[in-house]
Amino acid sequence: MSKILLLHGPNLNLLGQRETGIYGDLTLDAINSAAQQQVRKAGIDFETKQSNAESELINIIQQSKSDNVSLIVINPAAYTHTSVAIRDALLAVDIPFIEVHLSNPHRREPFRHHSYFSDVAKAVVAGFGADSYRYALDAAINIIQKIND
Ligand code: DQA
């Protein structure tokens, strides 16, 4: 069975309390349960993880190879703008991934305009709030269904 890993980076555990004018009112649990429903309804296995630590995110990505993850949907959060190491981990496992952001980083401070992920991502979805996850997962489901056809 195909499997999607939804991976969240630092401070996303605080969704619902954190800068709600930018990131919205939904908690990470609410986003994850909607995501789980959406993916499982399509007959695809689903797993989600969050970490505030760069090394932990790298370990999770490395592990996803032996866990037979078919596609990763990742919001690297602040590591988007800093982490060559997470980028390298994604390239090392060679699993296609979609980069997701709640906000549109290009409308924000200049230091958020560069991503270490976008040029190697399958696609980028940003700026739709929690719906960014829904759209990205929809695309992920379509990609997997096409591969399995
Ligand atoms: C974010 C955007 C990043 O710039 C920021 O550091 C985050 C969240 C987003 O989802 O909009 O933590 O990835």
Spacing, Cα 102 to ligand 1 middle (Å): 7
Q: In whole angstroms, what is the distance from residue 41 CA to residue 115 CA?
A: 32
Per residue in 16-72, pLDDT (tens digit) is: 999 999 999 999 999 999 999 999 999 999 999 999 999 999 999 999 999 999 999
User: Is 101 annotated as catalytic?
Assistant: yes
Name the active-site residue from 8, 79, 101, 116: 101
Domains of the chain (ranges; CATH) run 3-148 (3.40.50.9100)
Whether 139 shows a pLDDT value over 90: the answer reads: yes
Q: How far is CA 16 from the centre of its chain?
A: 18
Q: Name residues contacting ligand 1 (CB within 6 A).
A: 11, 75, 77-78, 80, 101-103, 105, 112
Per residue in 91-112, pLDDT (tens digit) is: 999 999 999 999 999 999 999 9
What are the backbone dihedrals phi and psi of residue 42, each rounded to the nearest 5 degrees, phi first? -85, 5
Q: In whole angstroms, what is the distance from residue 118 CA to residue 80 CA?
A: 9
